[in-house]
Amino acid sequence: MKLTLALLAVLCTPILLGLAIWKTLASKRRWVNYLSIAPIAIVSILAWEVYFAFYPKEEFYVSEWMRNTGLVMPSTAVFIKKNASYPDIHGDYWAAAIIEVSPEEYQLLKSEVARSSKAIIDTTLQPLIVSKELGNLAKSYLKSELTDVYQIDGDVWFKIGFYKDGISFIFERYSS
């Protein structure tokens, strides 16, 4: 469903814009040219908003990280994989990212999370990866296994896992 709507927006937008521009250029009436600007602008803005609603920018994941951990995202952070669901009628959604940082920032971040009053080392057998989508992302990325998994105490389900490679970590946020 999500992919279908995104493809529809991506495919229809250039076609509709092309038709509107062609009609505008073909018209000899000046007022028709001015009237066609509004639909072109509306369709362009709508397509932009729909695309980024389904495929959020990296700033969305950074704000999720900061909101749930209270920690600043490292400056060397590179998003390897990221995915999020569209919020349902109740506002619940899922978001996750696999991120690589420098080895120094990895150690600093790991110690900051361990010292955080919100973080609890997770010793349960509950998997870090709740959704199938992130499971598929993590399997394709999997260079090493997780060493430490922390659960963040808060309003939503939020876990952080640190990989043994010393440069990458994963976080997942889920509300229901």
pLDDT computed for residue 83 by the predictor: 84
Cα angle at 45 between 13 and 62, to 5 degrees?
110
Q: Largest Cα–Cα distance of the chain, in whole Å?
A: 73
- Please state the separation of Cα 172 from the chain's center in Å: 10
Q: How confident is the model at residue 118 (pLDDT cuts 50, 70, 90)?
A: confident
pLDDT tens-digit readout, 52-92: 888 889 999 999 999 888 889 998 999 988 888 888 888 88
Backbone angles phi, psi at 116, to 5 degrees: -60, 140
Q: Which amino acid is at 58?
A: E
Q: Mind giving me the DSSP string for 33-70?
A: HHHHHHHHHHHHHHHHHHHHHHS--HHHHHHHHHHHH-
pLDDT tens-digit readout, 125-153: 566 665 666 666 666 666 667 778 888 88
Q: Indicate the pTM of the whole model.
A: 0.71
